[in-house]
C-alpha cells in the first residue's frame, strides 16, 4: 500500500492534478502522466552523415562502428539492423550501449552517400535543420587502397558541404555558427576524457586559436576516417613507400583538416582502434558508468588518432622537416571554394584537377602511374618477372594432372602384370621342378676306377676347361695381348691329364680296359 501511495503522489501526477484544478476544466490525468514518463525515457537522437568510399567499404566500417555484442546471458539479445546503401542516399541505425552493454545511451541514425556530385546536395539539405544540427556529425570515409586520391576526394566533399549549407535557412545558419563557437571554445590542449579536461584549472580557460586553425568552419563537426589501414604494408611492399612517404601523407592531411577543426583516425577491421570512442565524443554521448580517455596517437602509423581541437602547426612540423605547411594551408583555402556556374561541376572540376596543390600531392607520392613509368618493361626484364595465377585455379589444374597420371599408371600396371605372368610362368615352373627333383634324387655320382666322381662337379670342371681354352695364350696373342708365363705353367695338356688318371688306376690295382701302357719318361 505504501508503494502505491508513493506512485500516485509522484510529482508528475501532482502537477497534472493541480493544472486540472486551476484550469477548471476536465483533463485526462493519466494521459499527462504517461506523456511525462515517456518524455523522461526518450533516448537522445543522434545522426551521422557518412560520405565517400564504396558500398562494401561503408558496410565494413559500419560493422566496425557497431557496439560490442551483448554479454552471454544478457537480456539485450538483438539482431543488427540491415544497411541499405546501394542507391544514392542510404540509411541504417545503431544503438549506442553503455559500458556494461545493458543500457542504451543513444540511438544513432546513419545516412550514407557515395557520390560527391553537386547534384546530390538536395538529398543532404533535409537532414540539416536547426533541430538536428546540434546532434549531427559529418564523416568522410577514405580507403587506404587508393591514398593518392584522398586530397581530391576530401576537396570534392568539402565543396558539396559548402554548397549544401549555403542554401539553408537563416535559423539553420545561426545554429551552425553557435555550434562552431562552442567547438572552438572546447580547446584544452591535453588528453581528452570524453570532453572533460584532466586539469581542473583549465575548465574555463579559452586558448586562442593558432595559425591555420578553424579558418574555414563547415558549421558541422567533421571527422575523416582512413579505413583499411592494414593496406599500409601493401603500399610499402608493392609501391616502395618509405616512412617519409607516410609522414608526408599524415602532415598533408593534418594541415588541411586543421582549417576545418576536423579530427582524423586510421581504422582497420583486423585491429582494435578508438573510432567508436571518437564518434561518441564528437556527438556528445557520455557513459554513465565509466569515462574512457580519448588519447591522441601520432606514433603508430596504422593507428593514427588526432582528436578535434588538439592539433597545431607546431605539432605538425616536428613530424618531419621540409614540409611547407603554410603554403599547403593557403592553397587549400583556394582549392575548396565552391564551383561556380555549373551544377554538374564537370567543366570547373576538370580545370581544378590540374591545380598546383593536387600536382604537388601526386608528385610527392609513388602512384601506380609513376611506378609503371619507373619499372622496366617486359622486354627489359629478361624473364625475371612472372605473372602468378590464382591459388584456386592452380590447385584445380594440378588436381586434374594428378588424376590423369594416376589413370595412366593404373593402365600401365595392369598391362605389365598380364605380360609378366605369361612370360614368367614357364621359367618359374622349370626352376621349381628342377629344385624339387634335386631334393628328391640327390647328387648324381659314378665310380671310375674305384673313385667316386660327382657328375655335376665334372660337368662344371669341363665348362671351366672350355673357358680356359678360350683364354689360351695363342688366342690372346692373336688378340694382341701378351701371355703371362706363370699362367702358361699352370696350363696342362689333355694327354698329360689322361696319362695321370691312367697311372692312378694302375696303382689302384688294375687298369681300365682300352688304356695303353705308360712308357718310360724321357
- pLDDT, tens digit (0-9, with 9 covering 90-100), for 152-190: 999 999 999 999 999 999 999 999 999 999 888 876 544
pLDDT for 512 equals 46
Q: Highest mean pLDDT range out of 195-204, 254-263, 286-295, 505-514?
A: 254-263
Angle (nearest 5°) at CA 465 between 452 and 483: 145
Give tens-digit pLDDT for 315-345.
999 999 999 999 999 999 999 887 665 444 4
Q: Highest mean pLDDT range out of 202-206, 357-361, 372-376?
A: 357-361
What are φ and ψ of residue 193, in 5° steps? Answer: -115, 70
Residues near 193 by beta carbon (within 8 Å), at least 6 away in sequence: 291, 293, 294
Give tens-digit pLDDT for 408-464.
888 888 887 666 555 555 555 555 566 665 665 566 666 666 677 677 777 788 778
Q: 142 - beta bridge partners?
A: 226
d(CA 269, CA 234): 16
Alpha carbons within 13 A on the beta-carbon side of 46: 21
State the pLDDT confidence band at 472, using cuts at 50, 70 and 90.
low
pLDDT for 175 equals 95
Give the pLDDT mean for 511-516. 48
pLDDT for 274 equals 83
H or E element that contains 409: helix 391-441
Give tens-digit pLDDT for 11-52.
344 444 444 445 444 456 777 777 666 655 678 889 999 999
Give tens-digit pLDDT for 69-98.
555 555 555 567 888 888 889 999 998 887
CATH code of the region 41-68+80-374: 3.40.50.300
| pLDDT value at 490 more than 50 | no
H or E element that contains 63: helix 55-65
Rg (CA), the chain: 50
H or E element that contains 137: strand 136-143
Residues near 167 by beta carbon (within 8 Å), at least 6 away in sequence: 121, 125
The domain locations on the chain are 41-68+80-374, 434-472
Cβ count within 10 A of residue 80 = 14
Q: 45 - beta bridge partners?
A: 107
The secondary structure of 99-128, three-state, reads: CCCCCEEEEEEEEEECCCCHHHHHHHHHHC
What are φ and ψ of residue 377, in 5° steps? Answer: -75, 175
How many helices (H) and strands (E) would you count in the chain?
21, 11
Residue with more model confidence, 70 or 111: 111
Give tens-digit pLDDT for 227-282.
999 999 999 988 889 999 999 999 999 999 999 999 999 998 877 678 888 998 89
Amino acid at each position: 500500500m505504501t508503494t502505491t501511495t508513493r506512485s500516485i503522489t509522484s510529482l508528475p501526477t501532482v502537477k497534472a492534478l493541480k493544472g486540472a484544478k486551476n484550469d477548471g476544466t476536465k483533463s485526462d490525468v493519466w494521459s499527462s502522466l504517461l506523456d511525462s514518463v515517456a518524455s523522461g525515457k526518450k533516448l537522445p537522437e543522434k545522426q551521422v552523415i557518412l560520405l565517400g568510399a564504396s558500398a562494401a567499404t561503408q558496410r565494413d566500417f559500419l560493422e566496425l562502428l557497431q557496439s560490442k555484442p551483448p554479454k552471454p546471458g544478457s537480456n539485450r539479445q538483438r539482431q543488427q539492423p540491415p544497411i541499405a546503401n546501394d542507391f544514392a542516399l542510404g540509411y541504417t541505425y545503431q544503438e549506442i550501449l553503455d559500458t556494461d552493454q545493458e543500457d542504451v545511451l543513444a540511438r544513432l541514425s546513419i545516412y550514407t552517400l557515395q557520390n560527391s556530385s553537386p547534384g546530390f546536395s538536395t538529398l543532404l539539405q533535409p537532414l540539416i535543420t536547426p533541430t538536428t544540427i546540434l546532434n549531427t556529425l559529418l564523416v568522410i570515409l577514405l580507403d587506404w587502397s587508393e591514398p593518392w586520391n584522398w586530397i581530391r576526394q576530401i576537396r570534392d566533399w568539402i565543396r558539396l558541404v559548402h554548397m549544401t549549407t549555403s542554401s539553408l535557412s537563416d535559423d539553420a545558419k545561426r545554429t551552425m555558427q553557435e555550434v562552431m563557437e562552442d567547438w572552438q571554445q572546447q580547446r584544452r590542449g591535453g588528453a581528452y576524457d570524453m570532453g572533460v579536461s584532466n586539469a581542473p584549472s583549465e575548465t574555463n580557460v579559452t586558448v586562442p586559436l593558432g595559425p591555420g586553425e578553424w579558418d574555414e568552419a563547415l558549421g558541422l563537426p567533421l571527422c575523416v576516417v582512413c579505413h583499411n589501414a592494414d593496406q599500409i604494408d601493401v603500399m610499402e611492399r608493392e609501391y616502395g613507400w618509405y616512412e617519409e612517404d607516410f609522414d608526408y601523407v599524415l602532415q598533408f592531411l593534418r594541415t588541411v583538416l586543421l582549417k576545418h577543426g576536423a579530427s582524423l583516425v586510421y581504422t582497420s577491421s583486423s585491429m582494435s582502434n578508438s573510432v567508436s570512442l571518437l564518434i561518441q565524443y564528437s556527438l556528445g554521448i557520455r557513459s554513465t558508468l565509466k569515462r574512457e580517455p580519448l588519447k591522441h596517437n601520432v606514433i603508430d602509423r596504422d593507428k593514427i588518432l588526432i582528436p578535434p581541437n588538439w592539433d597545431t602547426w607546431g605539432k605538425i612540423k616536428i613530424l618531419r622537416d621540409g614540409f611547407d605547411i603554410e603554403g599547403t594551408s593557403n592553397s587549400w583555402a583556394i582549392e575548396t571554394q565552391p564551383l561556380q556556374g555549373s551544377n554538374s561541376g564537370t567543366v570547373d572540376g576538370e580545370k581544378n584537377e590540374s591545380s598546383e596543390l593536387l600536382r604537388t600531392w601526386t608528385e610527392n607520392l609513388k602512384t601506380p602511374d609513376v611506378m609503371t613509368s619507373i619499372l622496366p618493361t617486359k622486354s627489359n626484364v629478361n624473364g625475371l618477372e612472372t605473372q602468378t595465377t590464382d591459388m584456386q585455379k592452380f590447385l584445380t589444374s594440378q588436381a586434374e594432372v594428378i588424376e590423369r597420371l594416376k589413370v595412366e599408371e593404373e593402365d600401365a600396371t595392369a598391362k605389365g602384370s598380364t605380360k609378366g605372368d605369361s612370360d614368367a610362368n614357364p621359367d618359374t615352373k622349370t626352376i621349381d621342378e628342377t629344385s624339387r627333383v634335386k631334393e628328391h634324387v640327390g647328387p648324381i655320382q659314378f665310380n671310375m676306377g674305384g673313385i667316386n666322381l660327382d657328375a655335376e662337379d665334372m660337368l662344371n670342371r669341363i665348362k671351366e676347361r672350355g673357358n680356359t681354352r678360350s683364354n689360351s695364350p695363342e688366342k690372346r696373342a692373336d688378340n694382341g695381348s701378351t701371355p703371362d708365363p706363370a699362367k702358361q705353367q699352370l696350363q696342362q695338356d689333355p694327354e698329360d691329364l689322361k696319362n695321370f688318371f691312367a697311372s692312378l688306376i694302375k696303382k689302384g690295382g688294375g687298369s681300365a680296359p682300352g688304356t695303353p701302357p705308360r712308357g718310360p719318361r724321357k
